[in-house]
Every structure is written in structure tokens, then in C-alpha cells.
Amino acid sequence: MRNAPTILHLDMDAFYASVEQASKPSLRGKAVVVGGLGPRGVVATASYEARVFGVHSAMPMAQARRLAPNAAYLVPRFGLYRSISEQVMALLHELSPLVEPLSLDEAFVDLEAGEVAWDAGSARSVGERLRADIRGATGLSGSVGLAASKMLAKIGSEQAKPDGLVLIEPGTERAMLGPMPVRTLPGVGPATGDHLRRAGIATVDEIAEAGEDEVVRLLGRAHGQALYAMALARDERPVVAEREAKSVSVEDTYDVDIHDRLRVGMEVRRLADRCVRRLRAAGLSGRTIVIKVRRYDFSTLTRSETLRGPTDDPAVVREAAARLLDSVDTTGGVRLLGVGVSGLADYTQEDLFAQAAGEAAEILAEEETAEPVAEQEAVSERRWPAGHDVRHAGYGHGWVQGSGLGRVTVRFETPWAVEPGRVRTFRVDDPELEPVDPLPLVQG
């Protein structure tokens, strides 16, 4: 472990919810919950105002609504989140070539590799400047942890939340970690935590006091040794530069189980096309086609087929996915379907294998698929997802507050407005109302 706190961990604060608050003046300071709004939806992120009521990520949306009935419930806008994440990651790359993203809103940075920090003072200055730069570029806040290891830097950013910075001086780690609960350590989830608690181990100090042999006896060699080392504040893991994607996949969860086998097949075809569009957008192709099926009883099955070479041909992916689906029993109903491509490469090998119907049939299949997909996307847009952006010919830019019974309610405001905007209700088929892309959070 190094002698200076030059590993930085950035964690954006309640990222999705904070983006929504920043883009919607009427929601600032209010409880906001982002996630799937259907009967089986789950919470992706809750604002700090919503967390006061006990709402948290991965909670069923129905439970969140019971806890915070007056919160704003919004459908995610992943395109906007990705674009803001790219801005944040670009700022991190200005600090160091060693940036290890963990998600859209979280990353490690090796400041030493970037030669921007060498001791506690310089590391703190870099961290504070980063937080200011992020706020200036995006209007959002992020919490920063600085330490001599990845584990401790991440613990530091958790302590710093929201909108703070915590620097852990080398040499103070054991004293800081000791009284913390075992769940503080990476890899200790609810099951491991319960197992340790039944053995009389509730704090990090008690892991250290138990000794490595006892921890190994309780948890097995690999997990036990790693956990014991972390309890002693030992973590030699390096910051690893951004890895290439290993797979590209898409999936949908359905509000009502699908029983019709024909409908299941159509959904798999649609998902295959979405997956290929995402694959092509990334300039990639892949050799292994994978489908995922979660059935009515929550059992999840995956099937895969590896081709002779990489492809980004939608017809090839569709047909491989259909063959894989043939081996899955969907009699009782399906609640989730997914299609993915792995074994990625940055080139394609055309005509990997001939299908029985021939090339002409493949082209026809593409043409037949294109229109239904476009129609489905149009229907989805006309459903006016809560929180998504719209524009009215007379009122300008706004966002959907809600819809139902043939009506859609819109609040007209921009991210740069000082006061909340006005609210109007329209017919869902109003020709003057259309979906549009989000506006930037910071006016250029």
C-alpha cells in the first residue's frame, strides 16, 4: 500500500435523481424517485429527500409509493445520464491516465499516475478542484474519498456523502476501521454479515481479533483471507484503466407475464434488433449470442450459441436467438426476456453461415421487422413516460408530469429557470406536442 492518499474515489450524489432535480426547477428540494413505474418496477435511485421516508435503490416501486406517496416518480432518461457521465469521466481523465469506472456515476482515479498529487495536501487540493469542476460543468455534486488504497478511498467517499470530501491519512486506517460494522468492508453482504454476527463478529475490529484462521473457517479460504486482510486495512489492488466491454445486451421486464409463444418470439426478435443497433453504435461485433428468460416462477434460464466468427448482422442474431428460444419451455409465462452478444471484436466476418431460407429471406425478414419495431417505439413515445422531455408548439419545452385517460399533463420549464414552470394538460394525440431530447443542465 502506498504512503500517500493518492487514490481518489468519486461517487456522484443520488445521480439519476439529482440529474432530474437539476433539470426540473419545480423538483429541487423535493422527494424524487427514479425507476420502473410498472407493477414490477424497482427504484433505481432516490433523492436524499425521498430517502428520509425510507426509500432506497432496489426497493419495489410499490413499496416506495407507500412510504413516500407525495414524491415525484419518474422514468429514467438513460441517454441524458450517459451524456453527463461522459462529461464527468472526461474531467477524471484530465487528472490521470488511470481511471477505473465502476458505473455511470462512480470511478477510481490514480492521482499518482497522473502526477497531480504526491501527498495529502496536493491530493486534497485535486479533490476539491475536481468537485468544483464537476459542479461547474454539470451543476451536480459528487462526493470524494482520498486514501492510500481503493477500499479506503471508497469508504471515504461514503463518509463524505452528500457533497463532501474525506481524506484518510495513511497510518490512521486501522483506528478508523475498527469500530465500523462488518458490512463496511467490500464483499460483506447481508448473508455474510448475518453469518459473522451469529459467530459473535459484528465490527471490523472483531474480525481482526478473531484471527485469520477463524475467519477462513467461517467463510472459506479465498473469502476469509481477503476479508481478514481488509480488516487490517491491507488492500493492494491497483487502479485499472477502463476495460473494454465484454458484452452488449438488452432486456425488458413485462408488467404482465407473456403466455403467448408467438408474442414471446416476437419480443425476442425485437430485442435482437435493439441489441444489434447498440452493437453497431459501439462499432463492435460478436461471436456468441445469448438469450435470457425469466419465467413466471422467477427461475432464470440462459442459453448461448457461438458462431464461427463475429457478426453484427441483425438477421443472424435474430435467427440464433430464435433457435435458442426453441430450447426453453415458456408454458407457464415469461416475465423478463433478454438478448446479448459477447465475444466482442471490432470487425465482422460476413456470411458466417447460410440459413435454410437463404439470403433473400433474411433481407425480407429485416424489412418485415423494421416497421413493427418503429410502430412499437412510436406507441411507447405516445405513452408519454413520466419525467421525459416534450415540446409544445405554443408553450415550448417541458416535461411529462403524468398521463392517463387520454390526457397528458406537462410542466413547462427549462433547467435554467429560476422559478417552477406552469402546468398544462393536453390530449395524448395533440399534434402540437412531441417528444424531444433533453436540454443540457448548464446553459452554454
Picking from 316, 323, 327, the residue whose alpha carbon sits closest to that of residue 365 is 316
User: Torsions phi, psi of 101, nearest 5?
Assistant: -70, 140
Find the radius of gyration of the CA atoms of the chain: 25
List the catalytic residues.
106
CA–CA dist 133, 347 (Å, integer): 37
Contacts of 132 (CB under 8 A, 6+ apart): none
What are the CB-based long-range contacts (under 8 Å, 24+) for 91-98?
Answer: 91/130, 91/133, 91/134, 91/137, 92/10, 92/130, 95/8, 95/126, 95/130, 97/241, 98/238, 98/239, 98/240, 98/241
CB 150 within 8 A of CB 98: no
Chain CA centroid to CA 157, Å: 19
Q: Could you write out the DSSP letters of every residue in 116-181?
A: S-SSHHHHHHHHHHHHHHHHHHHS--EEEEEESSHHHHHHHHHHH-SS-EEE--TT-HHHHHTTSB
Query: Measuring CA to CA, how many Å separate 257 from each of 154, 299, 336, 340, 388?
Result: 40, 13, 8, 21, 26
Q: H or E stretch including 24?
A: none
Residue 227 in grid coordinates: 476479508
Q: H or E stretch including 398?
A: strand 396-404
